[in-house]
Amino acid sequence: MSKTAIVTDSTAWIPKDLTTKYNISVAPQVLIWGEETLNDGIDIQPEEFYARIKTAKVMPTTSQVSIVTMQNIFNDLLEKGFDVLGIFISSKLSG
Protein backbone atom coordinates (compact mmCIF):
# COMPACT_ATOMS: atom_id res chain seq x y z
CA MET A 1 0.00 0.00 0.00
CA SER A 2 1.31 3.44 -0.90
CA LYS A 3 1.70 6.33 1.50
CA THR A 4 -0.55 9.33 0.95
CA ALA A 5 0.21 12.89 2.04
CA ILE A 6 -2.34 15.68 2.23
CA VAL A 7 -1.48 19.21 1.10
CA THR A 8 -3.70 22.25 1.51
CA ASP A 9 -3.32 25.96 2.08
CA SER A 10 -4.06 28.09 5.11
CA THR A 11 -7.58 28.91 3.88
CA ALA A 12 -8.48 25.42 5.16
CA TRP A 13 -7.92 26.75 8.71
CA ILE A 14 -6.93 23.37 10.13
CA PRO A 15 -5.81 23.58 13.77
CA LYS A 16 -2.08 22.98 14.36
CA ASP A 17 -2.73 19.89 16.50
CA LEU A 18 -4.52 18.21 13.58
CA THR A 19 -1.94 19.16 10.95
CA THR A 20 0.70 17.68 13.24
CA LYS A 21 -1.29 14.55 14.11
CA TYR A 22 -2.11 13.76 10.47
CA ASN A 23 1.08 15.20 8.95
CA ILE A 24 -0.84 17.63 6.73
CA SER A 25 1.30 20.11 4.81
CA VAL A 26 -0.16 23.62 4.84
CA ALA A 27 1.06 26.26 2.38
CA PRO A 28 0.63 29.84 3.62
CA GLN A 29 -1.96 32.04 1.92
CA VAL A 30 -0.45 35.34 0.82
CA LEU A 31 -1.97 38.46 2.40
CA ILE A 32 -1.36 41.85 0.82
CA TRP A 33 -1.88 44.67 3.29
CA GLY A 34 -1.13 47.98 1.63
CA GLU A 35 2.54 47.78 0.68
CA GLU A 36 3.15 44.78 2.94
CA THR A 37 3.10 41.15 1.77
CA LEU A 38 2.61 38.58 4.53
CA ASN A 39 2.50 34.79 4.62
CA ASP A 40 -0.48 33.65 6.68
CA GLY A 41 0.60 31.76 9.79
CA ILE A 42 4.26 32.67 9.29
CA ASP A 43 4.55 36.45 9.04
CA ILE A 44 1.21 37.10 10.73
CA GLN A 45 -0.80 35.01 13.19
CA PRO A 46 -4.60 35.11 13.51
CA GLU A 47 -4.50 37.18 16.71
CA GLU A 48 -2.42 39.89 15.05
CA PHE A 49 -4.57 39.79 11.91
CA TYR A 50 -7.79 40.40 13.85
CA ALA A 51 -6.20 43.10 16.00
CA ARG A 52 -4.93 44.92 12.91
CA ILE A 53 -8.16 44.63 10.98
CA LYS A 54 -10.07 46.43 13.76
CA THR A 55 -8.13 49.65 13.15
CA ALA A 56 -6.98 49.22 9.55
CA LYS A 57 -7.56 52.06 7.13
CA VAL A 58 -6.81 49.70 4.23
CA MET A 59 -8.28 46.20 4.16
CA PRO A 60 -6.04 43.29 3.22
CA THR A 61 -6.45 41.28 0.05
CA THR A 62 -5.21 37.80 -0.73
CA SER A 63 -3.18 36.22 -3.45
CA GLN A 64 -2.56 32.61 -4.35
CA VAL A 65 0.22 30.63 -2.77
CA SER A 66 3.28 30.95 -5.01
CA ILE A 67 3.85 28.16 -7.49
CA VAL A 68 7.41 27.78 -6.18
CA THR A 69 6.12 27.15 -2.65
CA MET A 70 3.70 24.52 -3.95
CA GLN A 71 6.36 22.89 -6.13
CA ASN A 72 8.71 22.65 -3.16
CA ILE A 73 6.07 21.04 -0.94
CA PHE A 74 4.93 18.57 -3.61
CA ASN A 75 8.47 17.68 -4.74
CA ASP A 76 9.60 17.06 -1.16
CA LEU A 77 6.70 14.70 -0.52
CA LEU A 78 7.09 12.91 -3.86
CA GLU A 79 10.82 12.40 -3.22
CA LYS A 80 9.89 10.80 0.13
CA GLY A 81 7.69 8.31 -1.73
CA PHE A 82 4.26 9.77 -1.00
CA ASP A 83 1.28 9.98 -3.29
CA VAL A 84 -0.02 13.52 -2.81
CA LEU A 85 -3.62 14.60 -2.38
CA GLY A 86 -4.11 18.35 -2.73
CA ILE A 87 -7.26 19.91 -1.26
CA PHE A 88 -7.70 23.59 -2.06
CA ILE A 89 -10.30 26.35 -2.12
CA SER A 90 -12.36 26.70 -5.30
CA SER A 91 -11.34 29.38 -7.77
CA LYS A 92 -14.96 30.58 -7.52
CA LEU A 93 -14.32 31.50 -3.87
CA SER A 94 -10.87 33.06 -4.20
CA GLY A 95 -8.66 34.76 -6.79
List Cβ neighbours of 65 (8 Å cut-off, separation of 6 or more).
9, 27, 28, 29, 30
- Domains contained in the chain, number: 2
83, 5 in Cβ contact below 8 A? yes
Inside any domain, residue 75: yes
Question: DSSP string spanning 13-33?
Answer: ---HHHHHHTT-EEEPPEEEE
Q: What is the pLDDT of residue 79?
A: 97
One domain, residues 35 and 55? yes
In which domain, by residue range, is 40 found? 29-64
Q: What are the pLDDT digits (tens) for 7-40?
A: 999 999 899 999 999 999 999 999 999 999 999 9
